Structure formats: structure tokens, C-alpha cells
Amino acid sequence: MSFDVDIAKRLGDRDIGARFSAGEGVTALFGPSGVGKTSILNMIAGLMRPDTGRIAVAGEMLFDARARIDLPPEKRRLGYVFQDARLFPHKRVRANLLYGHDIAPLAERWMSLDEAVEFLGIRPLLDRWPRSLSGGEAQRVAIGRALLSAPRFLLMDEPLSSLDRPRREEIMTVIERIATELKLPILYVSHDRAEIDRLADTVIMLE
Amino acid sequence: MLTPEEWGIMLLSLKVSSVAIIATLPLAFALAWVLARRRFPGRFLLDGLVYLPLVLPPVVTGWLLLLAFGNEGPAGRLLEQLFGISLMFRWTGAALAAAIMSLPLMVRAIRLSIEAVDRRLEGAARTLGASPLRCFCTITLPLSLPGVIAGAVLGFARSIGEFGATITFVSNIPDETRTLPLAIYSALQIPGSEASVARLAILSVALSLGAVILSEALARRGQMSERMGHVL
């Protein structure tokens, strides 16, 4: 499974662009704040349209400016874990977890609710409302929600930045296990050197 | 307490207002959504047209309805030819007048609640595989629902009190178009009917107050009381 990205976009008076290939394991996009890391993830996820370039996953074209290919986000099969957990406030944890799972075709699902709940240790949270969760709990649920939507790739946008130190440690362990046990490739965005050193198999510098 | 005639007036008022609000709600939601989310040429004109009944003298609105839906009006003729119905001097005409007068309040409340929906949640839903339609039905609509209900209740209260456009468009016909405010107006013309006026007025206050309190409670429940406050 490989990921090929070569995109550029002008946002206001900034030029945002990236050109890289990512494979197995954790690929980190590393760079200072304001370099447009989140915009790059949004373009890959289909939430923002690049001006030029192309994005391909495992040979399938998700975006190609020249060939006028632009798959909508729901067709890209990428899991996205946001900086804030971004859980649906009107749905309990269980319904949040199952949101993408219920949409994904049966044949493409590779994890059950039970497996995800076990993997993340969130069984006691299932009947809770998102607003009653701590930052770490919410981020676990957000990761579970993305995993259950049957993605081929996981995009993570500074998933640790709103957490305290012990919580960070827990979530980092979860991310490592996603890469090693579940063999799901991860594209990971951060501006924290220590996180990158610990998690990344490949580092891509953005300037 | 109420005479049979007064009961009839109340039931007619409730019928006219309920039909007006239920029939207008989908239109109000569509307008609110377009105004909240879409940028297109003529948006400011549409915005102005929707809010026009709020600032226009109701008599003028009633006269415009008469021009459009009267027997000689274009919309009136169309209804007559297609369905053989006329709104003139009918309770359905009163419902139309009430609907037009309530539309701005409904659109405004619903629009605020749609604008309050965090669009990043919609983005999250899309990355989880939701089509735009599914995203709308499972995220946007439920999250804006408190505002939709509050808008409907507010519109209902407004239409219960509708007077000027109604009396201009469909006149003041007992058992057909004589709603609460029109009945109060009629009773005031008859010497010695002070008791009846008082009962109808109390009824009117109770209905309106109940609706506004309900609307406020719903808005608060949706944690939007601040945003909704100035709708009143």
C-alpha cells in the first residue's frame, strides 16, 4: 500500500504544497506551525481542493487536476483523526463509533465494534455523551470511529496536542499498536520533535 | 367559561395557524439553509424579500396578496384553473396570510441555528463515508432541530396574532376567516360586549405567552438562547 502526493495550493498569500510518497508504518509530516500541515491533510482527505497536482492511494487516483479527477471525501476511504476529537455531540459514544462503520460495505469492514472497543479500552464509555468525556477519552473514541469506518490509510492531525503528558503517552502507545498490530499505514502531522522521533518510520520535512 | 361561539373562534384560529406553520416549515427551512450556506447573485434580494413582511405595513402585504391571489390575480387565476380553488374569503386564504407574515421569523430562527452548526462536524462525517445527503440528515438537521422547533413555535405565535394582512386579504367572515384578533376587533364595535372582548383577549395572551415560553425553553435547551434572544 503506497501513498503518492504531489499537490500545491495558494491560500490567501501563502503557498502550500507537498510532494512525497508514503508506505507502510508511520509517515510523519513535520514542520513549524503555519506551514500548512493541516491544509495538506485536508486536501488529501478531500475536504479542501488543491489548485494543482495529484493524490493517489495504492495506484488509485483520488485527485488529479489534469485529468479532472476529484473524489469526494466519502469515496476516498481514509480515516481522519482531528486535532480536536470532533465527535458528534448529539450522538452517544456507541453511535459515534458506529457512524462510519454502518456506512462501510460489509466486505470492506476489517474491524468489529467489539474489537475496536477492546483494542482501545473504551468499553465503559459506550453509553456516555461526548461532552462528558475527558480529552484523552474523546481522542480514543475518535480513533475508534475512524478505524471502524474501514479506512485504507489513517490521517492524524496532531492528535496529542490537546492532551496532558500521561494521556499523550497512552495515545502514542495506541498509535504504535495501530501501525504494528493492525498494519494500518498512518500519515501523521506534528510540530513536536519528540513525538516524531518516537513514532515515525519516515519523516518528511515541510518548509 | 367560553361561549360556543368563542370556542369556534379559538378552534378556527388554531386551525389557520397550524396549517400555515406546518405548510410553511419546509419552505422556511429551505430558505434558511440557502441564505445560511449558499453564496449566489441575488442573495441579498432574496434576503430582503423574505424579511419584507416583517417591516411592511400588514395592510400592504394583504393588498399584495389580493393582487396576486385575487380572482383577477395571476396566482389566483392559476389556482382556479389548475385545481378549481380560490383562497379569496376562505380560511385557507387566512392561512396563507398568516404564513407569509410568520415566514420571516421562522426563517430567521432556523437560519441562526443552521449557522450555529459546526461545519467541521460535517467534514468529519464526510471522511467517515457519509454522502452529502446522509451528512445533512444525520448531522446538520438534528443539530439545527432546536432552532427549527423554536422557529415554528415563534411563527405559530405570530400567526395567531395576525390581523392586518388577513382582514385585507380575506375580510372578516364569521366561522371562515374571523380568527381571534378579528373577533376581538368585531366585538369592540358592538356596545356591551366588553366581557367577550376580555375573554378573547385573555385567550390571546395565554396562547401567545405559552408559545413564546415554549420557544424560549426549546432555544435554551439547544443552548442557543443568546443567539435566539434578539429574534423576539
Give the residue among A107, A111, A173 at the shortest CA–CA distance from A144.
Answer: A111
| Residue B10 confidence (pLDDT) above 80 | yes
Residue B145: closest C-alpha in chain A = A90
pLDDT, tens only, A33-91: 778 889 999 999 999 999 999 999 888 899 999 999 999 999 999 999 999 999 999 99
Q: Residue B152 CB: number of other CB atoms within 10 A?
A: 24
Residue type, B142: P
The pLDDT tens digits of the residues spanning B84-106 come to: 888 888 999 999 999 999 999 99
Cα–Cα distance measured from residue A64 to residue B226, given in angstroms and rounded to the nearest whole number: 45
Which residues of chain A are within 8 Å of residue B129 when distances are taken between CB atoms? 74, 77, 100, 103-104, 149
For chain A, percent of residues with pLDDT exceeding 70: 100
pLDDT of residue B3: 86
Q: How far apart are CA B34 and CA B22, in angstroms?
A: 19
**The pLDDT of residue A88:** 96
Under 8 Å between Cβ of B21 and B152: yes
The closest CB to that of B142, out of A76, A90, A146, belongs to A90
pLDDT digits (tens, 9 = 90+) for B138-157: 999 999 998 898 899 989 99
Minimal CA separation from A114 to chain B, in Å: 19
Asked if residues A185 and A153 have their Cβ atoms less than 8 Å apart, the reply is yes
Ordered structural domains, chain A, with CATH: 3-205 (3.40.50.300)
Nearest to A103 among B120, B128, B139 (CB): B128
Q: What is the model's pLDDT at position A174?
A: 93
pLDDT at B53: 93
Residue A1 has pLDDT above 50, yes or no: yes
- Give the model confidence (pLDDT) of A86-107 as tens digits: 999 999 999 999 999 999 999 9
Instruction: Say what angle helices A135-148 and A113-120 make with each other, to 10 degrees.
Output: 150
B41 CA: distance to closest CA in chain A (Å) = 23
Taking an 8 Å cut-off on Cβ atoms, the answer to whether A72 and B125 are in contact is no
Mean pLDDT of chain A: 92
Give the tens place of pLDDT for each residue, A111-151.
Answer: 999 999 999 999 999 999 999 999 999 999 999 999 999 99
User: Strand ranges (DSSP E) for A23-180?
Assistant: 26-30, 52-57, 60-64, 69-70, 78-81, 153-157
- pLDDT, position A110: 93
Q: Among candidates A198, A196, A178, which has minimal Cα distance to A29?
A: A196
CATH fold of B4-229: MetI-like fold (1.10.3720)
CB distance A73–B126 less than 8 Å? Answer: yes
Distances (CA, A) of B57 to A3, B97, B172: 63, 13, 18
Domain residue spans of chain B: 4-229
| DSSP-derived secondary structure letter, A49 | -
CB B150 within 8 A of CB B222: yes
Predicted TM-score (pTM) of the model is: 0.84
Between CA A123 and CA B199 the distance in angstroms is 59
Averaged pLDDT for residues B40-61: 93
Helices (H) and strands (E) in chain B, counts: 12, 0
Task: Give phi and psi for B99, each to the nearest 5.
Answer: -65, -45
Question: Above 80 in pLDDT, residue A11?
Answer: yes
- Alpha-carbon gap: B224 to the closest alpha carbon of chain A (Å): 15
- Residues in CB range of B109: below 8 A, 6 or more apart: B147, B148, B150, B151, B154, B219, B228, B231
Give the phi and the psi of residue B224 in degrees, each rounded to 5.
Answer: -125, 20
Would you state the pLDDT for residue B215?
75
Write out pLDDT tens, residues B174-202.
989 999 999 999 999 999 888 999 999 99
